[in-house]
Amino acid sequence: MTIISSDIHKAVEILSNEDVVAIPTETVYGLAGNIYSETAINRIFEVKQRPLFNPLIVHLHSAEQLDDIVIEFPQKAKLLADHFWPGPLTLILKKSDSIPDQITAGKDTVGVRIPNHPVTLELLKALPFPLAAPSANPFNRISPTQAKHVEDYFQDQIKMVLEGGDCQRGLESTIVGFPNGEPVIYRYGSIPLEDIEGIVGTLQVKNKSETATPDAPGMLAKHYAPMTKTILVDDLQGTLSQYKELRIGVIKFSGSEITQDNVHTVILSPNADLAEAASILYHTLHQLDRLNLDIIIAERLPDQGLGKSMNDRLERATK
Q: Do 9 and 158 belong to one domain?
A: yes
* Tens-place pLDDT, residues 162-213: 999 999 999 999 999 999 889 999 999 999 999 999 999 999 998 776 556 6
- pLDDT confidence of 223, banded at 50, 70, 90? confident
CATH of residue 53's domain is 3.90.870.10
Give the full edge-to-edge strand order of the sheet including 295-299: 230-233, 295-299, 248-252, 263-267
Q: Do 43 and 159 belong to one domain?
A: yes
- What pTM did the predictor assign? 0.95
Strands 174-177 and 184-187: antiparallel
* Residue-number span of the structural domain to which 280 is assigned: 230-317
pLDDT at 216: 77
225 vs 91 pLDDT, higher one: 91
pLDDT at 181: 86
Which of 169, 184, 219 is a domain's end point? 169
Which of 133, 148, 169 is a domain's end point? 169
Q: Do 145 and 59 belong to one domain?
A: yes
**CB count in 10 Å sphere of residue 57:** 25
- Give domain status of residue 223, yes or no: no
CA distance 170 to 189: 9
Count of structural domains, the chain:
2
* Tens-place pLDDT, residues 51-108: 999 999 999 999 999 999 999 999 999 999 999 999 999 999 999 999 999 999 999 9
pLDDT at 212: 63
Q: Do 165 and 17 belong to one domain?
A: yes
Q: Do 17 and 89 belong to one domain?
A: yes
* Tens-place pLDDT, residues 235-259: 999 999 999 899 999 999 999 999 8
Q: What percent of the chain has pLDDT over 90?
A: 89
